Amino acid sequence: MIRMLPFLFLLPLLAPAQDAPSLVKRLRAKMDVVNDYRAQGMLKTDVSFLRIPVSRVNVLYRKPDRFRIRKDNGISLLPKGGISINLNAMMALGEVTAVDAGQSLQQGRALRVVKMLPASEASDVILSTLYIDEKELLIRKAVTTTRENGTYEMEMEYGRHAGYGLPDKVVVSFDTRDYKMPKAITFEYEPGEKPSKRAAGKDRKGRVEIRYEQYVINQGIPESAFR
């Protein structure tokens, strides 16, 4: 019996990692604690044919998918239907099939890769690939393919609110040729510089970065705030 003890101690180390559906379930449970939040931050947009200064913004979220970003003057920058930079709304997609896709080394971290396929054929999202820090139970990166706006990539950095799964910084990269630019931001073009489709296609990469300065979590937000 004594000879078996070293082997018995190794059993926990040899146990397989949790399956993809269980991991996604744990992520959803963690993020589901957040019913709503208000946040303030700085928004930087890098799209070659738009001239948008770095802006101070107010961000609103309410479960499951109400999300708005507004500049201090009250103008919405990313209305509903565009590229989502909100993980909570992404994780609230409804029924999904989670498939294990191995591991990936990202910025020195070994991350679990899980592909999520929405069950609903009506969903705009076709596929989301999540790069998950299993130890911290955080999504470090997500690549999402949609029907209307092509494929975009989100990278997250965490700090004070990691316990809620809320990032301090989100960077979204996308192909401007695939993305249907919301009408709500056409005011940002310089006079006489609204680009043609040919000009817009020269530099295909777009980038949106938001750095959150503070969150107010689960204090309640009325529906009127999203209008």
Please state the rounded mean pLDDT for residues 199-220.
Answer: 82
Q: What is the pLDDT of residue 98?
A: 92
Confidence of residue 45 (pLDDT cuts 50, 70, 90): confident
Q: What is the CA 185 to chain-centroid distance, rounded? A: 21
How far is Cα 115 from Cα 127, in angstroms, rounded to an integer? 7
Residue 186 has pLDDT above 70, yes or no: no
Output the pLDDT for position 181: 55
Sheet of strand 66-71: strand arrangement: 66-71, 55-62, 36-47, 205-217, 169-175, 151-157, 138-146, 125-133, 109-118, 96-106
Model-level pTM? 0.80
Higher pLDDT, 142 or 190: 142
Looking at residue 76, what is its pLDDT? 59
The two three-digit tokens of residue 123, written as one number: 């969903």
Regarding predicted confidence, which is higher, 218 or 17? 218
Q: Omega before 182 cis (within 30°)?
A: no
Average pLDDT of the chain, as a whole number: 79
> Phi and psi (nearest 5°) for 135?
-65, -45
**Residue 137, pLDDT above cutoff 90:** yes
CATH topology of domain 16-216: outer membrane lipoprotein receptor (LolB), chain A (2.50.20)
pLDDT of residue 217: 97
Pairwise CA distance, residues 166 & 109, whole Å: 19
